[in-house]
Structure 1
């Protein structure tokens, strides 16, 4: 079977015939700046504490946290009033793990220092299509899906929790790299089956990464400082990918467990590796069309953006950084404002024509839509396309990276990608023993379907 046919067979499930409708917004009622009236009781607070397994050292601390919980309830109620009036496309609630924290506490414990996306502020001549051709993915044979959700392909590992450390950049790095390792393994299996004259398609039971514990964030916290990363104070996935490349690999989570703090010692051992990186593809800063193409046609992409403290109370819907008090967007979108890194794992459009990214966060499954959220697409909201990148992993199909002797666009190996021009075969990419055979079902889809349009999403009445 020809390689083009293999690719078409493997990826046809991602394609849809429908065209995306233009986004529309409509305010259906007046926006009041008056505080919302809501009653929040100690009983509801105790229920929330039990849900999240929290307890405080003193009654005084309990009362202080309850007062914060009440204020956050007022904030959520006011925001949800704007949500119901059509001014914003996402709702808030007190269900998540941060309802007893102030904005300043949340910022200092979970948000990294603003990062400078200097590595991606250039305009590159490389293209996604050139990259696909080099790596054995023939551009003409690819459909152009209007929607994609890589979670449905069995390549996304479970949601993790960064805890009280500004290490989101490490989770964005590992989450994206894990998916590309799994995606490449899937492609390798499809290619091998086709070469033997078998069926190149795979079922959910043939290949699955949804139970793999994945790669070592703690290694990045402890060891990647020479690449302009700063442990719990922040970093960038593009710089972390470069560290992994020059280091020769990254360990597994099992071998190098996460501690949610800077240990002061790099404990990486070179005997075994969880994954390798042979190059880094940086999306041109601010080029959201290229970001969308990469998510559609390549796989998950690490993104960084400026998160506002109100985001800690996100429940469901399309995040648009709307402030119900000022009636304005809270975040900025310059390459110097990004303070949180996540992974774009899909694209979607609501019934009323609003485009969004499906995004994997690192604040546990108790936050948002079982650890995921939707983010407004098409406006470079909060700088979502200013700092986007994804890793190139060893491949047994095509070339790992462009070669100067080929007929492909050599410029793709220029400022877009940082790599040596050689071909690594698929070996030692991850510990296969740590991948479970069975695939578990997730309830996140019910949350996502619930938020498919503003008409279908009801804000929690606090």
Structure 2
């Protein structure tokens, strides 16, 4: 009963009208409040040194009945990119540049019996919130098309703010040495990120059963890095296409071909996106399926011959242009010691991983809590190219396909030996005769 009464008291206090002469929150949909805000913006704009006029994008504050109405407002404005102060146009027709936002605190009085009815009593520029300042800094370093669309800008700002919270959670609970922070993906929601840079629904089911790799001796070097042996091509970028599985596949075959044939060749992911009829192009696929499809097609063309488009397309595979072929594929043990032994002996390994903790990664050895990247949900295909140890932390070196500006120049280091993020659940490789 006491709890119920407490809740009722809180609700009543929120919705209770202000007492006579009291201060209440302004309603941003109230035409009179909007007119007060617009009057303030026009006056501030006229006095500013900006070449182009300010346009109001939002406002908040309070109002109070005094001799008329007193509005105490914080107003967010942006400079117009299409209008000048001398244009006799409604500012509603002006396009804004949301990279030029300013915040002003303004006090406006409305007295209907006077002319003009509105008076700007005082104003001063105030700094944006810390989060919006970070967002503005982010926009200055990343080209975005929504900076002249107020509604989309505000939506992206909200996403950015949500991502800052995720970054804080990841960093606070990180068990390794990884650093998380703002990067080129910081204005993309987790759902959008996984649907375009990974596979939001995880890897598709497959009936393909690959033969198992033989068990190997684990008497191996303390570190291996195939990048140093000229069997790994430069980091690529899959863009907004869920083709990570194709990059994982080609990366593995590039390594196998270089090791067995002595020639490193950058291979075509687009051929797999377009011509692999078992997998689903930009909607996801499996390396185990892709190996079989490559053998059925007759091989892979080079990146130069069959360039990447980051979109599903019509197959234009030319068998006469084949640069590389494979003669089989196999599954590697899920035991990470065996994985390391196989990698040391035979080359880079195609794997699946849960990418949920990767979006905000900047560098270091990642060891996120399991709840942040469940091993049971693999949604991203990548390539293990090496392993090592930093103090007491053994790690894998993973080549990603999000471009060289992400992570450690396109690479991801993650703790080895814990099955972290499911990285040991789907290791495979093609074989080259």
- Which residue of 40, 46, 67 maps to 2:130? 40
Instruction: Give the conservation status (yes or no) of the 8 Å contact 1:120–1:282.
Output: no
Instruction: Give the conservation status (yes or no) of the 8 Å contact 1:145–1:296.
Output: yes
Which structure would you say has the larger RCO, counting Cα contacts within 8 Å and 6 or more residues apart? 1
Other-structure match for 1:160: 236
Given the alignment of the two structures, is residue 333 of structure 1 paired with residue 420 of structure 2, yes or no?
Answer: no
Given the alignment of the two structures, is residue 302 of structure 1 paired with residue 384 of structure 2, yes or no?
Answer: no
- Which residue of 362, 365, 369 maps to 2:404? 365
State the alpha-carbon separation in 1 of the partners of residues 375 and 166 from structure 2: 24
Other-structure match for 1:179: 255
Other-structure match for 2:386: 346
State the alpha-carbon separation in 1 of the partners of residues 350 and 205 from structure 2: 13
Q: Which runs of 5+ in 2 are unaligned?
A: 1-127
- Residues 283 and 119 from structure 1, CA distance in 2 versus in 1: closer, same or farther, beyond 3 angstroms? farther
Q: Which has the higher strand share?
A: 2
1:290: how far off? 2.2
Other-structure match for 2:180: 92
Post-superposition CA distance 1:202-253 (Å, at most 9, x none): xxxxx8x4xx6x1111110111123xx1111211112211211222111111
Instruction: Give the conservation status (yes or no) of the 8 Å contact 2:210–2:329.
Output: no
State the alpha-carbon separation in 2 of the partners of residues 271 and 149 from structure 1: 34
- Number of aligned residues: 304
Other-structure match for 2:339: 291
Q: Describe the SS at the equivalent of 2:273.
A: helix
Given the alignment of the two structures, is residue 54 of structure 1 paired with residue 102 of structure 2, yes or no?
Answer: no
Instruction: Give the conservation status (yes or no) of the 8 Å contact 1:93–1:314.
Output: yes
Instruction: Give the conservation status (yes or no) of the 8 Å contact 1:49–1:55.
Output: no
Q: Describe the SS at the equivalent of 2:315.
A: coil
Aligned positions of 1:41-440 closer than 5 A: 41-56=131-146, 57-83=148-174, 87-94=175-182, 96-112=183-199, 113-115=201-203, 124=212, 126-127=213-214, 144-186=220-262, 209=264, 214-226=266-278, 229-263=279-313, 265-284=314-333, 286-308=334-356, 310-322=357-369, 329-334=371-376, 337-351=377-391, 353-393=392-432, 400=433
Instruction: Give the conservation status (yes or no) of the 8 Å contact 1:304–1:342.
Output: yes
State the alpha-carbon separation in 1 of the partners of residues 130 and 388 from structure 2: 35
State the alpha-carbon separation in 1 of the partners of residues 395 and 274 from structure 2: 34
State the alpha-carbon separation in 2 of the partners of residues 345 and 66 from structure 1: 36
1:41: how far off? 5.0
Considering only aligned residues, what root-mean-square deviation do their CA atoms show, in Å? 2.6
Post-superposition CA distance 1:384-443 (Å, at most 9, x none): 1221111112xxxxxx2xxxxxxxxxxxxxxxxxxxxxxxxxxxxxxxxxxxxxxxxxxx
Instruction: Give the conservation status (yes or no) of the 8 Å contact 2:210–2:330.
Output: no
Instruction: Give the conservation status (yes or no) of the 8 Å contact 1:82–1:88.
Output: no
State the alpha-carbon separation in 2 of the partners of residues 258 and 155 from structure 1: 21
Q: Which runs of 5+ in 1 are unaligned?
A: 1-37, 130-138, 187-206, 323-327, 394-399, 401-462
State the alpha-carbon separation in 2 of the partners of residues 219 and 45 from structure 1: 38
